[in-house]
Amino acid sequence: MDTQSRQKLIEIIKLARGSMTQRAFGIELGVSATAVQMWEKGVKTPDTENLDQIATRAGYTLQELLYCVKGKPLPEISDLNMVLRQINNMPLSEVAQVVQAGAARLAAAPELSGNQEKATSK
């Protein structure tokens, strides 16, 4: 793996780990904190199973992660699919905020559509 690919993989691993400690992230993946540290230093590369879990946590498929690491353009992803992937990987407290914002928007929707109908009938 060349230096640029290794650096991109390190960025994706750190993105997947987020604010978790290396130890907590290792526990989630079933590896040691030392393994996570070695990945983030670029000394070692995660195996395929761990790469798949890292990709999922970072909001990618394994194929997309491999495209990123190789510096190839990603296949097109719809905005909705990207949002759904991000929601699936968010902490529940953040998902709750998304749900609250969505509920507020839906609650306001009848008012908005009613106002739009009034405006167009004038």
pTM: 0.62
Phi/psi at 59 (5° precision)? 90, 20
Mean pLDDT rounded to a whole number for the chain: 83
3-70 placed in CATH 1.10.260.40: yes
Q: Where are the domains of the chain?
A: 3-70, 90-121
AA identity, residue 98: V
Residues 6+ apart with CB under 8 A from 48: 62
| Average confidence (pLDDT) over 8-36 | 93
Q: Are residues 48 and 6 in contact, defined by beta-carbon separation less than 8 angstroms?
A: no
- pLDDT tens profile 47-101: 999 999 999 888 888 888 888 787 776 666 667 777 777 787 778 888 899 899 9
